[in-house]
C-alpha cells in the first residue's frame, strides 16, 4: 500500500509501505478515504528530535474515516462496506481510569498514529470496538474530523457551561473554531486569532488580533478557552488577567514537554479562578464524548464542513504541511484523500 512515513527528521515521504494483515481477533481493516492533518502531527513533523528515537510508528494520522474492508469480530454489528470513523485511543477497559470512564488516562493506552500505525496510508488496522458507523447525512470528510469535535465537546463538558456570559477563545485553529460553534449559541464570544476573521464574524462573534489583547480591561470574561499552547506562556498570563473572579480557564493548547511557564499564582488564587487542563476526551454522564460529538454533528449543532479549508491528495502531503506551516488567511484544516478518490 502507499502512504506517508516519517523516518527522516522533518521529511515525511510518500511511497510504498508494508501491506497490513488482519491476523488478530476483534480487529478490522479500514480503507482510509479521508484523513485530517492535526496540530499534534505537525508537532512531530517539525520536531528537532529524530523521529525514530521517540515515535513507535513512522505512520502518523489519527483523524480519519473510511470503509470496512475486512473484519474479524463476531460480536460486532459492522460489516464489510460500512462507512466508519474511529476513536484513535486504544484503551484497555480494565484499569481504574478506564473503569471510571477516563480512558484518556488509561494505564495501557496506545494511540493510532502514535504507538500504532496511523491513517496517512491507504489502510489502517483498528479494534472493531473503536469503530463508529457514520450517520446518514454526514460526509466522509466531516466524519474524519469527529476526533476534533470530540476534543471541543470534552472541553465544554469540563466547563460550568455558562449561559449569557462573556467567553474568550484564545486561538482560531480547528479545535478553537469547533468550540466556538458549541458556545456561541448561548453566549457572547470573543476570539483572539490571526487567520480566520471571516469565519468568526460569520458566527456573529468578535475577532481581535493578538496584539489587541493588551488593550482589554482586566476581569471581563467568565470563561476562557486557551487553544494555542506551544513554547510560550503569554496566553495563560493573559487569561489570568482577563478572567473574572470565580471564572474558569480551560487549557487545551499543547505545550512542549519540560516547558515551564511563569504563572502569577497570587492573581489566580486571589480571584478564586479555576485553571484547568483538558486532555482529549472520555465519558460524560455515561456516554462516550466521541459519540456525543458524532450526534452533535449529525444534528447540525457542529458543522465540520466549515472547518475544512483545503482538500489534497495524500501524495501532496508535504504541500499540506507547508500550507499549515505558513498559514494564510482563512486556513483552518487540511484534509487528505487517497489519490483517485473524489
With cut-offs at 50, 70 and 90, classify the pLDDT of residue 301.
very high
Would you place residue 118 in the very low, low, confident or very high pLDDT band (cuts 50, 70, 90)?
very high
Domains defined along the chain, listed by start: 2-145+307-337 (3.90.180.10), 151-277 (3.40.50.720)
**Could you tell me which residues are beta bridge partners of residue 31?**
67, 123
What's the pLDDT tens digit per position in 181-212?
Answer: 999 988 999 999 999 999 999 999 999 999 99
Q: Is residue 221 pLDDT above 90, yes or no?
A: yes
Are 193 and 216 spatial neighbours (Cβ–Cβ below 8 Å)?
no
What pLDDT band is residue 341 in, cutting at 50, 70 and 90? low
The residues facing 72 across adjacent strands are 27
Residue 100 pLDDT exceeds 80? yes
pLDDT at 342: 61
pLDDT at 310 over 90: yes
Q: State residue 87's pLDDT score.
A: 99
Cβ contact 281:153 at 8 Å: yes
Q: At residue 339, does pLDDT exceed 80?
A: no
Average of per-residue pLDDT values in the chain: 96
pLDDT score for 53: 87
- Phi, psi dihedrals of residue 237, rounded to the nearest 5°: -60, -45
The secondary structure of residue 22, as a DSSP letter, is -
Query: How confident is the model at residue 256, as a pLDDT?
Result: 86
Average pLDDT value for residue range 313-325: 97
**Is residue 340 pLDDT above 80, yes or no?**
no
| Number of residues assigned to the chain | 342
Distance CA 85, CA 15 (A): 24
User: Distance between CA atoms of 113 and 2, rounded to whole angstroms?
Assistant: 16
Amino acid at each position: 500500500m502507499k502512504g506517508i512515513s516519517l523516518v527522516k527528521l522533518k521529511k515525511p515521504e510518500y511511497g510504498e509501505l508494508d501491506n497490513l494483515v488482519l491476523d488478530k481477533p476483534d480487529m478490522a481493516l479500514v480503507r482510509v478515504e479521508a484523513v485530517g492533518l492535526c496540530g499534534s502531527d505537525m508537532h512531530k513533523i517539525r520536531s528537532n528530535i529524530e523521529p525514530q528515537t521517540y515515535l513507535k510508528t513512522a505512520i502518523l494520522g489519527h483523524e480519519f474515516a473510511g470503509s470496512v474492508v475486512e473484519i474479524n469480530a463476531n460480536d460486532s454489528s459492522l460489516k464489510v462496506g460500512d462507512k466508519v470513523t474511529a476513536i484513535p485511543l486504544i484503551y484497555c477497559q480494565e484499569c481504574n481510569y478506564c473503569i471510571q470512564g477516563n480512558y484518556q488516562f488509561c494505564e495501557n493506552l496506545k494511540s493510532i498514529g502514535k504507538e500504532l500505525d496511523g491513517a496517512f496510508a491507504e489502510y489502517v488496522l483498528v479494534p472493531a470496538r473503536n469503530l463508529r458507523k457514520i450517520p446518514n447525512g454526514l460526509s466522509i470528510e466531516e466524519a474524519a474530523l469527529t476526533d476534533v469535535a470530540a476534543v471541543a465537546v470534552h472541553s465544554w463538558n469540563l466547563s460550568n457551561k455558562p449561559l449569557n456570559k462573556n467567553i474568550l477563545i484564545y486561538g482560531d485553529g480547528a479545535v478553537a473554531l469547533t468550540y466556538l460553534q458549541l458556545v456561541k449559541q448561548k453566549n457572547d464570544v470573543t476570539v483572539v486569532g490571526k487567520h480566520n476573521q471571516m469565519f468568526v464574524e460569520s458566527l456573529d462573534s468578535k475577532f481581535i488580533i493578538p496584539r489587541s489583547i493588551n488593550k482589554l480591561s482586566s476581569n471581563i470574561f467568565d470563561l476562557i478557552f486557551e487553544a494555542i499552547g506551544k513554547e510560550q506562556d503569554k496566553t495563560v498570563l493573559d487569561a489570568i488577567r482577563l478572567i473574572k473572579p470565580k471564572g474558569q480557564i480551560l487549557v487545551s493548547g499543547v505545550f512542549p514537554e519540560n516547558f515551564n511557564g511563569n504563572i502569577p499564582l497570587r492573581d489566580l488564587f486571589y480571584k478564586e479562578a479555576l485553571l484547568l487542563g483538558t486532555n482529549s476526551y472520555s465519558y460524560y454522564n455515561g456516554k462516550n464524548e466521541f459519540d456525543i460529538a458524532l450526534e452533535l454533528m449529525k444534528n447540525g449543532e457542529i458543522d465540520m464542513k466549515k472547518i475544512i479549508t483545503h482538500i489534497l491528495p495524500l501524495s501532496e502531503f508535504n504541500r499540506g504541511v507547508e500550507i499549515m506551516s505558513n498559514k494564510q488567511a482563512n486556513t483552518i484544516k487540511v484534509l487528505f484523500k487517497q489519490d483517485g478518490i473524489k
